[in-house]
Structure 1
């Protein structure tokens, strides 16, 4: 009887085991399919604002496109910057390291990843093949602690002494020691500090309003031997007279423009706690400041502005740009240094962002290795904050299209236009003042257009 019972048990097990395995396999497959569908519907959850979002490329109403190169778990290429940033990204990836704590010394992690990558034999061989100016950039890209040589007299740049409310706008202008004429033209025209009235337009209600403006010029240090003259004393005199010079002790080169952003954000976070907006641009742009004042006041009056201001950046937005591979261009970035598309960014000729965003950019920049192209680097920081810059056609970083600038009120319809010399800036300001009455009420260029979130890709920096 026992033998018969055992035999039937064996038969039962043989018959049921495959069925049980199939059921378990079906349950496992169902769970995996559900998880995959869930990740497709919601690719990530929003972590704290200083955390990165993973995985993959995000394309929806809440997040900006994230280049795949930023989140590859295994990098088989030989691009130096990608190797550096991959180490940082892995550390802060909330999926790979869900228990990473915020608030520790991020600069230590940057130095550690730099040391690890640069000491690899393959890296050393590739670095020797890079152009000399990029090798020089690599030699300094791990350094962010530079002495301040000159600081503005005011707490947050030059401004009016009798301000009755917090500054609406800080003009932070990148310049060099040699460009005194550019700075002087800006001081006399669109960069005047103190109270400035806005420009009344058809879309404006009531009076034109206004706001207080402050100004600061951002400089590195020229090499007196290479320049043939030492301008330090003249710059000190200029600073004593105008109180708007902020200079650090690093070599002022094109690739070091990124340092001006990083060091400026640090200074701003410490010195400009109440300033609402920042204009960051070059010293060869013309800005219609009254238009800018009115535009920014309009942004503050929008519904839920107190929530959206922490993400606010507006300018000439460039999407899906390709690194310049032309070796005789000053924007040249070889594929041995960086591979992949550039993130969406606003052209560095002139861009406006909120003071709240400036402080967030300061914090997140501590986790992103420096990149030679300054506006691209700002785009990289924006991507890490899951923030998308707003495009506005009144930012003409590539000048007017066609013959539009010959129209009578063309300069009344813009916020900014790039590439104007000091004499042109002074003349344009005078013309804008003379034609203010006859051009009053003209709208900004394409003001009725919505934000461009699907802008066609441009070639980056030809």
Structure 2
């Protein structure tokens, strides 16, 4: 009995202390858990804010659709000796929101992160000296983007109608040069007319307001043989559609036209729904283009898909040209790996929302000497890609298809055509409109299918 009595007293004492411990410790434990929860919430919210600021997606290599490009692009050991890859990887690591969340926005506006990338690649000067002369000149100005504007349209977002009753549906942004006056005139008189343009279906709801702007640099007066600046000023005053910057208008600087255009568009074209960006030697079926774009806006969840909308003649898994006689020659000492998926530069259409996202993303992607490939790189960083449409014929019609009566009514774009051909084609389109108004867009692409 004595032994049982002792055990009973110890049990009562233990129960009493347990109640005391529970009363004292439970609030402390609860408070500690609450603090941990708050800290985790704030950390996740902070990281989410970083992502949402630029709408950037960071994905592990090898998980995207173009897996081979993701792996080859991010592998430093594989491509660390290529100048562009090394410079870009340095920038990516410096401004990675996971590794350095506090540095994600620093250096975007003043361009200091480009200089930082060059400074961290210690042997870049030795590698550059071994490149061809044209490539050396490109690398020497790779980090420069603050070029002055020489000429710009008087009205907001290019030449257009004075009395627009709704936001512009399409801005025609056409890459041209000072000497290509005939090309610009042919476009102004045909597929690039500004103002209200009727669509394919001939009714008041089909069509939209169109704006127009030509993108130019400055040509070398000695190479051109004449100083065309005064004439270009007269042209700009007459038509109000010239946007010119103070940089050399050469092939490797075409990327600057995209980057500077995106910046200008973000400031001047807040309400424009779509952008056509193309060369001045293409033919565009504008009425059908407007109908096609209006149909895209009617699709379910269009307000979401417009953030990534880009359509054209898509080229996937392309390799850099290693032939030094090619216009597109890229030495393997400058860039290694496959190109990302991109739309052919002859002509591409993307949304105004995407143009602004490309502007933000381009601030953290080093310039590349081939403009359409660079746009594909920016799209890759946005974790999206252009969509192929067989009505974009950047490599012309298949054999015998062009001679068909309604062939030009089934396309959105064809490359390449002279100013005289553009005027003739536009006139023929008008003549055959009644016969071909209801033909559908090209739906098959034999060349792409074979590939």
Shared fold per TM-score greater than 0.5 = yes
Change (3 A) 1:216 1:347: same
Q: Name 2:364's counterpart in structure 1.
A: 367
Report how far residue 64 of structure 1 moved: 8.1
* Alignment pair present for 1:273 and 2:278: no
SS at match of 1:286: strand
**Structure 2 residue 105 is matched with structure 1 residue 103:** yes
1:58 to 40, 50, 63: 63
2:82–2:335: 8 Å Cα contact kept in structure 1?
yes
Q: Which residue of 1 aligns with 2:156?
A: 155
- Aligned with 2:212: secondary structure? strand
Change (3 A) 1:101 1:351: same
Of the candidates 59, 84, 105, which is equivalent to residue 81 of structure 1? Answer: 84
| SS at structure 2 position matched to 1:81 | helix
Selected match of 1:232 from 229, 234, 239: 229
SS in 2 for 1:316: strand
Aligned residues of 2:69 and 2:337 also touching (Cα < 8 A): no
User: How far, CA to CA, are the matches of 1:348 and 1:388 in structure 2?
Assistant: 15
The separation in 2 between residues aligned to 1:308 and 1:176, in whole angstroms, is 34
Match in the other structure for 1:7: none
Aligned to 1:430: 427
Q: Distance in 1 between matches of 2:115 and 2:346?
A: 30
Unaligned runs of 5+ in 1: 1-44
Shift of 1:79: 0.9
Which residue is equivalent to 1:114? Answer: 118
Higher helix share: 2
- Note the aligned Cα RMSD (angstroms): 2.2
- Unaligned 5+ runs, structure 2: 1-47
Question: Could you tell me whether the CA contact under 8 Å between 1:54 and 1:94 is conserved in 2?
Answer: no
Aligned to 1:161, the other structure's residue is in SS state: coil
Q: Write the mapping of 1:123-272 to structure 2, written as runs, cut at 5 A.
A: 123-200=124-201, 209-272=206-269
Q: 2: CA distance between counterparts of 1:383 and 1:457?
A: 26
Q: 2 CA distance for matches of 1:67 and 1:430?
A: 46
TM-score, normalised by the number of residues in structure 1: 0.82
Query: Is the 1:64–1:383 contact (alpha carbons within 8 Å) kept by the matching residues of 2?
Result: no
**Deviation, structure 1 residue 240:** 0.5
CA-CA distance at 1:75 after TM superposition:
5.4
Shift in alpha-carbon separation, 1:439–1:85, aligned structure 2, 3 A:
same
- Is 2:347–2:413's contact at 8 Å kept on the other side of the alignment? yes
Corresponding residue for residue 306 of structure 1: 303
Which of residues 313, 335, 356 is equivalent to 1:316? 313
2:32 matched residue in structure 1: none
The answer as to whether partners of 1:175 and 1:282 remain within 8 angstroms in 2 is: yes
Larger radius of gyration: 2
Contact 2:198 2:207 in 1 (8 A): yes
What SS class does the counterpart of residue 215 from structure 1 fall into? strand
Contact 1:173 1:218 in 2 (8 A): yes
Return closer, same or farther for 1:444/1:64 CA change in 2, 3 Å cut-off.
Answer: farther
2-structure distance, mates of 1:272, 1:312: 17
> Deviations along 1:77-109, whole A, 9 cap, x unmatched?
4211011101012123345x1624543332211
Q: Is the 8 A contact 1:185 1:426 kept in 2?
A: yes
Within 2, Cα distance between the matches of 1:161 and 1:246? 19
What is the TM-score of this pair, normalised by structure 2?
0.84
Task: Verify the 8 A CA contact 2:157 2:268 in the aligned structure 1.
Answer: yes
Map residues 350-429 of structure 1 onto 2, 5 A cutoff: 350-429=347-426
Q: Is the 8 A contact 2:153 2:243 kept in 1?
A: yes
Query: Following TM superposition, by how much is the alpha carbon of 1:315 offset from its aligned partner in structure 2, in angstroms?
Result: 0.3
Shift of 1:207: 6.7
Instruction: Report the counterpart of residue 323 of structure 2 in structure 1.
Output: 326
Residues 72 and 456 from structure 1, CA distance in 2 versus in 1: closer, same or farther, beyond 3 angstroms? farther
